[in-house]
Amino acid sequence: MKMEFDIASGDFKKAGRASSQIKKVLKQLQVDPKIIKRIVVAIYEAEVNIVAHSFGGKLTALINGNSIEVTLTDCGPGIKDVEQAMQEGFSTASKEVRDMGFGAGMGLPNIRKNTDEMNVTSEWGVGTTVWFRNQF
């Protein structure tokens, strides 16, 4: 099963719609609630990252048998130093994003914590792709 969502830059009211839809599907598939939580927290963090930091992007979720693979690609601006961005506490978030309860530099580390496999590739001036996979 393939699910695709467009994620608009700055649209915080819609952030979480993709995660919510995917959560419903995983519940229907009777996946263990503890694993659902790991997956949807990772997806929500990644969704918020696109809304908060990028010019907009796309999320694709592939559910096959007993695994889910999620790819999020944005249209830039990209991450200057991916290794630094993966460190807990590092953040480039605006005051607006922080006022909404995010931007503490915990998103990417939390995605890593909640996924079985994760990969981030980014080119400054081009864009970022976050990929992860979970078994269930």
Partner 1 sequence: MKLSEIISLTNARLVAGKNVESNDVTKAFSSDLMSDVLTLDEEHILLITGLANVQLIRTAEMADIEVVLLSRNKRASQEMIDLANEVGLVLLETPYSIFRASGILYSNGLPPVY
Q: Which positions lie near partner 1, rule CB under 8 A?
A: 12-13, 15-16, 19-20, 23, 33, 37, 40-41, 43-45, 48, 100-107, 110, 113
Least gap, CB of 27 to partner 1 (angstroms): 11
Classify 124 as helix, strand or coil: coil
Least gap, CB of 124 to partner 1 (angstroms): 24
Of 44 and 79, the one with the shorter C-beta distance to partner 1 is 44
Of 33 and 66, the one with the shorter C-beta distance to partner 1 is 33
Least gap, CB of 52 to partner 1 (angstroms): 10
Residue with tokens 């096959």: 64
Least gap, CB of 15 to partner 1 (angstroms): 7
Residue 40 · residue 26 · CB < 8 Å = yes
DSSP 17-75: HHHHHHHHHHHHTT--HHHHHHHHHHHHHHHHHHHHHSS-EEEEEEEETTEEEEEEEE-
Residue 115 · residue 62 · CB < 8 Å = no
Q: Distance between CA atoms of 121 and 45, rounded to whole angstroms?
A: 16
Of 2 and 13, the one with the shorter C-beta distance to partner 1 is 13
Of 34 and 65, the one with the shorter C-beta distance to partner 1 is 34
